[in-house]
Amino acid sequence: MPHEPTGSSVDFEKVDSAYFQQRELKKGAAGWVLLVGLGVAYVISGDYAGWNFGLAQGGWGGMFLATLLMATMYLCMCFSLAELSSMIPTAGGGYGFARSAFGPWGGFLTGTAILIEYAIAPAAIAVFIGAYCESLFGIGGWMIYLAFYIIFIGIHIFGVGEALKLMFVITAVAAIALGVFLVSMVPHFNVANLLDIPVTEAKGASSFLPFGYVGIWAAIPYAIWFFLAVEGVPLAAEETKNPKRDLPRGLIGAIVVLTSFALLILVIAPGGAGTLALVKSGNPLVESLALAYGGSTWMGNFVNLVGLAGLIASFFSIIYAYSRQIFALSRAGYLPRKLSQTNKSKAPVLALVIPGIIGFGLSLTGQGDLLILVAVFGATISYVLMMAAHITLRIRRPKMDRPYRTPGGIFTSGLALVLACIAVVAGFLVDPRVVIGAAIIYGVLIAYFAFYSRHHLVAGTPEEEFAAIQAAEAALH
């Protein structure tokens, strides 16, 4: 195939129409309500398990302040991504945004950071699913992890329309269970329970901040778990009925719902059961009810059973997200092209299966808290790059068509950028070895692009076509 030198240290190869016919997604499968559901589904497992590890890092006060900071970051980021997704509605999501702002290198760095996030997050969720199954049925461990990976990857292979509708139902049920939990715990709320962790000698330590000021920073990765992956809504762009209208609605609707749940759960769960009792729990909501009511109750059993549905909803939908990110990067040649081939149901089979195998292997560690750190590392790197893309496109290409405009403009995305930079560093305060390991994986992917795939990119993909059109328009002005 002929190469097209671009002058930007990458080369493009032309492909025939059959290439894209083998790489098509199902169009019009989702409207904006389904996208709100998708955004909530990505994240709702974070309400059921994982966030409580932040209590061990910052105490209740540190986790509360960290959550307020991260809620601000995600709200500003979702407003910014709403604009970007209305401008560049492709399956590449963040990769497509950064590709338009910074060229192929920026697109690759963003896309692979997102890929680390989405490939690792299901492994952490699988560990929490195992804990809930152990509590419910007395069976946990590798058999549960494997069964869930096989079943839900299989459903995705069957077809996206069916998968998204099933996910929406599961998410709705999980949200109802959160409501039941909150109502059940309110009568047992006591402010003293929030502040029951012993005060250390750290600088700034108090009953509100038992681990001092540094505890706020160390709690940030777990505060992110309340919101992690909501930014994946734009990955459904090529399967959305009206992406320029529906993607902004989906993003903003989802983050409003998630912020409400995060703040309510963070106050009510430790306030009813005690903060100290939840710092290491694999299923903190169920344990909160057991502690508040003095043992097993129908409410605890209900939240346990439906809490499993919440974990499944996130597990299920993040599998969807990683497959779409791999699909877009592979279709454009950044990753091996075989990964983007779709089956008769328009599902990218290898993009679903291969990360599933890797994720299952990682779930065998049983270290849900450390897997969260790896996922957060990839996520926060991508947030920095996506917010920088928003600012860059606003400054360099002010005349681009923006069906939705971010309130506050670059101030909003700039605030999200600053908070994302703080969040990148936060993981090192918890366990630097884990974050360094994630950085090494990132480095290997970058080396693959530097030495091979940047010379074999595909011309004519939606992201590359969009970038070419914008470059041509910019040259005219």
pLDDT at 7: 41
Residue 79 and residue 157: Cα distance in Å, rounded? 32
pLDDT at 6: 41
CB 118 within 8 A of CB 329: no
pLDDT at 387: 97
* Residue matched to tokens 């461990």: 141
Q: What DSSP state is assigned to residue 364?
A: T
Residue 224 and residue 232: Cα distance in Å, rounded? 14
pLDDT at 105: 94
Residue 191 and residue 267: Cα distance in Å, rounded? 9
Closest CA to 164 of 28, 65, 50, 256: 28
What is the b/e burial string over 374-396, where b = at least 16 CB atoms within 10 angstroms of the residue's CB? bbbbbbbbbbbbbbbbbbbbbee
CB 282 within 8 A of CB 131: yes
Q: Is residue 15 part of a domain?
A: no
Q: What is the pLDDT of residues 353-371, one digit of tens each?
A: 999 999 999 999 988 888 9
Residue 131 and residue 10: Cα distance in Å, rounded? 46
Backbone phi and psi for residue 5, each to the nearest 5 degrees, phi listed first: -60, 140
pLDDT at 131: 86
Q: How far is CA 298 from CA 31, 179, 301, 304, 329, in A?
A: 36, 15, 5, 10, 47
Amino acid identity, position 228: L
Residue 36 and residue 255: Cα distance in Å, rounded? 9
Give the chain's residues under pLDDT 50.
1-7
Provide the 3-class DSSP secondary structure of residue 190.
Answer: coil
Q: Can you give the pTM of this predicted structure?
A: 0.88
Closest CA to 78 of 321, 182, 86: 86
Q: Is residue 475 part of a domain?
A: no
pLDDT at 466: 65
How far is C-alpha 437 from the geometric centre of its chain's CA atoms? Answer: 19
pLDDT at 243: 81
Report the alpha-carbon angle 246-310-438, nearest 5. Answer: 85
Q: Regarding beta strands 457-458 and 11-13, do their DSSP bridges make them parallel or antiparallel, or are they unpaired?
A: parallel
Cβ neighbours of residue 393 closer than 8 Å, sequence gap 6 or more:
84, 87, 97, 100, 101, 400
Tell me the DSSP string of 349-402.
HHHHHHHHHHHHHHHTT--HHHHHHHHHHHHHHHHHHHHHHHHHHHHH-TTS--
CB 44 within 8 A of CB 38: no
CB 421 within 8 A of CB 413: no
Q: Is residue 8 part of a domain?
A: no
Amino acid identity, position 104: P
Q: How far is CA 71 from CA 35, 48, 52, 405, 463, in A?
A: 20, 17, 16, 20, 30
pLDDT at 1: 40
Q: Is residue 16 part of a domain?
A: no
The structural domain count of the chain equals 1
Q: Is residue 2 part of a domain?
A: no
CATH number, domain containing residue 392: 1.20.1740.10
Q: Is residue 298 part of a domain?
A: yes
Provide the 3-class DSSP secondary structure of residue 54.
Answer: helix
pLDDT at 179: 93
Residues in a beta bridge with 4 = 12
Provide the 3-class DSSP secondary structure of residue 21.
Answer: helix
CB neighbours of residue 9 within 10 Å? 12
Sign (positive or negative) of CA dihedral 327, 388, 263, 220: positive
User: Length of the chain, please?
Assistant: 477
Residue 20 and residue 341: Cα distance in Å, rounded? 9
Cβ neighbours of residue 398 closer than 8 Å, sequence gap 6 or more:
none
Q: Is residue 6 part of a domain?
A: no
Provide the 3-class DSSP secondary structure of residue 458.
Answer: strand
Residue 412 and residue 410: Cα distance in Å, rounded? 5
Amino acid identity, position 160: V
Range of the domain at 407: 29-470
Q: Is residue 11 part of a domain?
A: no
